[in-house]
Structure 1
Amino acid sequence: MQSNLKQNLIKKSIHNTPLILVVEDDEDNLLFISHALIFFKYTFLTAKDAQTALSLAKQYQPNLILLDIMLPQVNGLELVHDLRHGKLTQTIPIVAVTALASEEDRDRLLASGCNGYLSKPYLLDDLDSIIRSHLPQRFFCPSARETRQYLSLFSNNCLLQFGFG
């Protein structure tokens, strides 16, 4: 039952909102980022380890992966390597969300295959900005139908406001 619900949410998200995979083993950090993603109205999945993350990434092919680097057993860099060499996952943008804060760490993460980097602790605006910068614009631009509806309402309102309607 829960699997069907999850799959329906994922299918819905493909058309309306981006699907983000959050890979974080720390419960407090996971709770914080989950609340932030709910606030920003993103659909997301979570994984607490690399093996689960790889499985979810292959199964759902999210639009973005937010990845903690310090994971138990298999670290985040090994997961990046596996994702970059997987047929279904090689093009998914990966943003490292980590306490590794030096410029050398950042360069190493980007060289390993991460598309972006967000240092902990971070502000909500920084999280939203980095998410938006790594997702397709179609998620943030109104559709042609929505634009026509808005323009129609706007022009009708203008006609009424200026006494032409």
Structure 2
Amino acid sequence: MGRGLFGAIAVAVGVLIGILLGDPYFGWVTARVIGEQTVWFQNADGSRTTKVSGPAVTLPDWIPVMPGALRITASRVVDDKGRPSKAGSLELLSHEDVAPIVAFYAKEFAARGFTVAPQRPQGEADFGRLMNAVEGEVRAANPSLGVEARVVVRSRQGILLAPRLVEVQWFDRQGAGS
């Protein structure tokens, strides 16, 4: 079998997984095939910042992971001395409804010393919210750690299993406007 045919079959299988099982399952499969990835960025002062992503990336201990959710992938930014910075993300696959996901993250971040604001997306028109498939959101800030976190709960996807994507992002409080 030629590489072209193999590639076409791989794409067809990926599309079927995405349509039938949902995009989060496609992401889970893709993350396992690709594995860990590392990229670096040259800073203006000559130092390097590295971003590591993959299914097994270590999370800060103050980032909660919802029980029963399937971990798709995560990323972490590391400074030029190899220390994790206060920036990263986590993608989870869940079959829960929006309310239990929002309640879990609001409770868990509060238990970790964060000020929590569960909310629907603000500043987005209904059309924009629909286009972005956002159904729930939690924002949390912890001044003592100098970080903010945001949890976005996406709409269900797929015909057969209909999972939803849960995105957890954290960042240095100074860059919180992004």
TM-score band, normalised by shorter chain:
under 0.3
Q: Give the TM-score taking structure 1 as reference length.
A: 0.25
Q: Which has the higher helix share?
A: 1
Between Structure 1 and Structure 2, the one with more strand by share is 2
Higher relative contact order (CA 8 A, sep 6+): 2
TM-score, normalised on structure 2?
0.24
